Structure 1
Amino acid sequence: MFARSTTFHGMPGNIDAGIRFIKDEAGPMLEQIEGCRGLSMLVDRDTGQCIATSSWDDEAAMRASDAQLRPLRDRGRDILGGSMQVDEWEIAVMHRTHHGECCRVSWLQGDIDAMTETVRLGILPMIEQTDGFCSASLLVNRSTGLGCATTAWESREAMEASRASADDMRARTASDAGGEVVEVREYELAYAHLHVPEMA
């Protein structure tokens, strides 16, 4: 399974228009493309940053969709009023009980295989016992050594309450991978229509 994320550095006042675009145009269009497993959108209303992530059966399906989706990404950028960055990933871990209302995203640099093993065997069993936990995933880019770990939570209160334990787990993952934590951000989960199978 693979994923393509488009990070929009938009204007805070355009967030709601961007969400409508994802719900009314981008989501329905993606559902018609062979090999697509759905779309999610994370938003930060304070900064205007949004991350739209599409999931795919395999790398070939993801690559085949690129030309078709480029005008859609450009339209999203125009609606949100900023710049955008596109990244492609392999889905290494996916475990979901249900969709939540907010997410914490951590970017880590290091050995991808070690990172994946720590998340799968060490972090998941602990974090799924945390109150308010909904899902966890790890996307990886083997060519850059970058991992993107996302946890979803039932409420912002639950996500905030988990921060201290999440800091410990993130530090352990980075250490086991011989790398470092690059960035951590928290978002509202504005849209989630995903059909990625369990990969834990």
Structure 2
Amino acid sequence: MYARSTTITAAPDRIDAGLAAVRDDVMPAVLDMDGCVGLSMLCDRDSGRCIVTTAWASEDAMAGTREGVRRMREQATERFGAREPEVREWEIAAMHRLHPVGDDACARVTWSCVDPAAMDRVLEAFRTDLIPRMDGMPGFCSLSLMLDRQTGDNSLTAVYADRRALESSRQRATYIRDEFRRALHMSATDVAEFDVVLHHLRVPELV
């Protein structure tokens, strides 16, 4: 499974217009494309940072839509009142769901980088260590890992039932995250928290 993430920094007063464009125009068109297995959108209204992620059944399916989504992305970016977005393509290396994601859900995304040669160790630690520890967190819903095997860049997203669960998990999640990174010699690049404003990913369990 593969994913394309588009990160947009929206003008604060244009977030709702941008969200409407993604929900009403982009999502129906993308979901109708061959090989698409869903779309999600994360939003931080304080910073204006929004991340739209589309998931694809294969690398070929994702590659085949690059031109088809370009104009839609440009139009949505205009609606957000944003500059040029950052677009990344990833392998969805792992996906774990403990509970369904609801409309009040929030997410914490952690970006890191690791030696590409250590990717198999990262995946093994995700399965055997990280998942069991996250399953015990109150309000925890799901955990996914996207990576770029060439650069070693990776994106880890933990979703919680609501803002209260996200906030109450912060200290424990930081400890787990830092321990995970130290064990695998991963360098941290960024951490951010978001509301899950669209949750229509149909990616199967991948562990």
TM range (shorter): over 0.9
Q: Does 1:104 align with 2:115?
A: no
Q: Which residue is 2:134 aligned to?
A: 127
Name the CA distance, whole Å, in 1 between partners of 2:101 and 2:183: 29
Q: Which residue is 2:35 aligned to?
A: 35
Q: Which residue is 2:184 aligned to?
A: 177
3-state secondary structure, aligned to 2:63: helix
Sequence identity (%): 38
What is the TM-score normalised by the length of structure 2?
0.94
Q: Which residue is 2:87 aligned to?
A: 86
Name the CA distance, whole Å, in 1 between partners of 2:172 and 2:119: 22
Name the CA distance, whole Å, in 1 between partners of 2:11 and 2:161: 26
Name the CA distance, whole Å, in 1 between partners of 2:178 and 2:122: 11
- Tell me the amino acid that sits aligned with residue 101 of structure 2: H
Q: CA deviation at 1:114?
A: 2.2
The Cα offsets for residues 134-185 of structure 1, whole Å up to 9 and x where unpaired, read as 1110000111111100011111110011111111121122122212121100
- Tell me the amino acid that sits aligned with residue 191 of structure 1: L
Does structure 2 retain, via aligned residues, the 8 Å contact 1:115–1:176?
A: no
Q: Which residue is 2:25 aligned to?
A: 25
Q: CA deviation at 1:69?
A: 0.3
- Tell me the amino acid that sits aligned with residue 138 of structure 1: L
Name the CA distance, whole Å, in 1 between partners of 2:26 and 2:199: 12
Structure 1 residues not aligned, in runs of 5+: none
Q: Which residue is 1:47 aligned to?
A: 47
What is the TM-score normalised by the length of structure 1?
0.97
The Cα offsets for residues 3-62 of structure 1, whole Å up to 9 and x where unpaired, read as 000000111111111111111111110111000000000001011110000000010000
Segment drifting more, 179-188 vs 168-177: 168-177
Structure 2 residues not aligned, in runs of 5+: none
Structure 1 consecutive aligned stretches of length 4 or more whose deviation exceeds 3 Å: none
